[in-house]
Amino acid sequence: MRSSLIADQPQKIEILYQLDLFLRNATLSQQGSFDKKCQMGFEEKFSAIRKGLLEFLVLKIVAVDKVYAADILKQLSATEFSTQEGTLYPLLSKMRREGLLDYAWKESEAGPPRKYYCLTAEGREQLAETEAYWKRIGDTVSRIGAARGRH
């Protein structure tokens, strides 16, 4: 019964999610794990941003040259955007369905043929738009921070 009520009312889902976060944070505080609580809050706050930026970074990586999924994972592994195959492959499939990427099969000396991804014209357009938007966001953040420092 509880699940059917929640499914009918998205606001209740958000309230339950927020309550769950609150209770987890309260439990951590009671255990004296303030640093762990702050870290968990930080990770949760920025996970949506990181998730959104992952697509942008994949576009940037693929824009350089045709690339194999393992190479994308390798480039991301040295960053805070390190991810796993279970995240990357569905993202690549989604981006292909949206017309941002395409792929070609190439024979491999190390085993079976591999998919090498490349940007489509629409993908290049999306990358250019996202880069321009990212620059505007960065400029805004810098400007607001600089304005606050003057007062």
Residues 82-134 have pLDDT tens digits of 999 999 999 999 999 999 999 999 988 888 899 999 999 999 999 999 999 99
Indicate the pTM of the whole model: 0.66
Share of the chain above pLDDT 70, in %: 70
CA distance 142 to 147: 8
- 20, 44 Cβ separation under 8 angstroms: no
Q: Domains in the chain and their CATH numbers?
A: 56-150 (1.10.10.10)
* Ordered alpha helix ranges (H), the chain: 2-8, 10-30, 34-64, 69-77, 85-97, 121-150
CA distance 133 to 48: 17
* Segment 44-57 mean pLDDT: 86
